[in-house]
Chains A and B, each alone.
Chain A
Amino acid sequence: MKPIWERRNNIDALLSVENLVVAYGAVEALKGVSLEIPVGDVVAVLGANGAGKTTLLKTISGLMPIKSGSVRLMGDDIGKYQPFKLAGLGMSHIPEGRKVFATLTVEENLNIGAWGVRKQLNPRQIQETKEWIFTLFPILKTRRRQLAGTLSGGEQQMLAIGRGLICKPKILLLDEPSLGLAPILVQEIFKVIKQIHEEEKVSILLVEQNARKALSIADYGYILETGKIVINGPAVELKENEHVKAAYLGGARLKPQ
Chain B
Amino acid sequence: MQLLLEQLTNGLTIGSFYALVAMGYSMVYGVMKLINFAHGDFFTLGSYIGYAILVFGSGWVTRTFGIWGGVVVALIGAMIGLGVGGLIVERVAYSPVYKAGRLPLVVSALGASIFISNGIMAIWSPRFQAYPQTSIPTGSLLLFGDVHITYIKLVTIIVSWALMGLIYYVVEKTLFGSAVRATALDRETATLMGINFQTIILFVFSVGPALGALAGVFAGLNYSRIIFTMGWGYGLKAFTATIMGGIGNIPGAMIGGILLGLLEALFEGFVSGQWKNVFVFLILIIILIVRPTGLIGEKVAEKV
Contacts and interface: CB of A to CB of B under 8 A. Distances in A.
Interface stretch (A30-38, A66-74, A98-106, A187-195): A98-106
A97 interface: yes
Contacts of B302: 102, 149
Interface string B176-201: 00110110011011111111110000
B197 A101 contact: no
Contacts, number: 83
Interface stretch (A41-49, A87-95, A136-144, A202-210): A87-95
Nearest to A82: B196
B299 to A, nearest CB: 6
Contact of A84 (B185, B191, B298, B301): B191
Interface residues of B, number: 24
Given A84-B197, A102-B302, A149-B301, A112 B182 contact: yes
A113 interface: yes
A118 B197 contact: no
Interface stretch (A17-25, A150-158, A228-236, A240-248): A150-158
Contacts of A112: 175, 178-179, 182, 190, 193, 195
Interface string A103-121: 1100010011101111000
B195 A103 contact: no
Contacts of B186: 99, 101
A63 B181 contact: no
B300 interface: yes
Nearest to B194: A116
A168 B181 CA distance: 23
Contacts of B99: none
A39 B268 CA distance: 72
Contacts of A178: none
Contact of B181 (A62, A84, A101, A113): A101
B303 interface: yes
A61 interface: yes
B143 interface: no
Interface in B289-304: 298-304
Contact of A108 (B178, B190, B301): B178
B191 A83 contact: yes
A244 B195 CA distance: 39
Given A95-B192, A99-B186, A101-B185, A115 B303 contact: no
B188 A63 contact: yes
A15 to B, nearest CB: 16
Given A87-B194, A112-B182, A115-B195, A102 B189 contact: no
A147 interface: yes
Contacts of A62: 191
Contacts of B299: 103, 147
A116 B193 contact: yes
A85 B194 contact: yes
A111 B304 CA distance: 22
Contacts of A104: 178, 181-182, 185
A115 B179 contact: yes
Interface string B266-304: 000000000000000000000000000000001111111
Which of B192, B194, B298, B301 is the most central at the interface, judged by chain A CB atoms within 10 Å of its CB? B192
B63 to A, nearest CB: 47
Contacts of B178: 101, 104, 108, 111-112
B183 to A, nearest CB: 9
Contacts of B194: 84-88, 115-117, 167
B193 A113 contact: yes
A103 B303 contact: no
B189 A149 contact: no
A150 B300 contact: yes
A176 B304 CA distance: 14
A150 B22 CA distance: 28
A63 B192 contact: yes
B25 to A, nearest CB: 19
A237 to B, nearest CB: 33
A125 to B, nearest CB: 15
B300 A103 contact: yes
Contacts of B179: 112, 115
B298 A151 contact: no
Interface of B: 175, 178-179, 181-182, 185-186, 188-197, 298-304
Given A102-B300, A147-B299, A167-B194, 6 more contacts: A87-B194, A93-B192, A101-B186, A102-B303, A112-B178, A115-B194
18 contacts: A63-B191, A84-B196, A99-B188, A101-B178, A101-B185, A101-B186, A102-B300, A102-B303, A104-B182, A108-B178, A112-B179, A112-B193, A115-B195, A116-B193, A149-B301, A149-B303, A163-B193, A180-B304
Interface of A: 61-63, 82-88, 92-93, 95, 97, 99, 101-104, 108, 111-113, 115-118, 147, 149-153, 156, 163, 167, 180
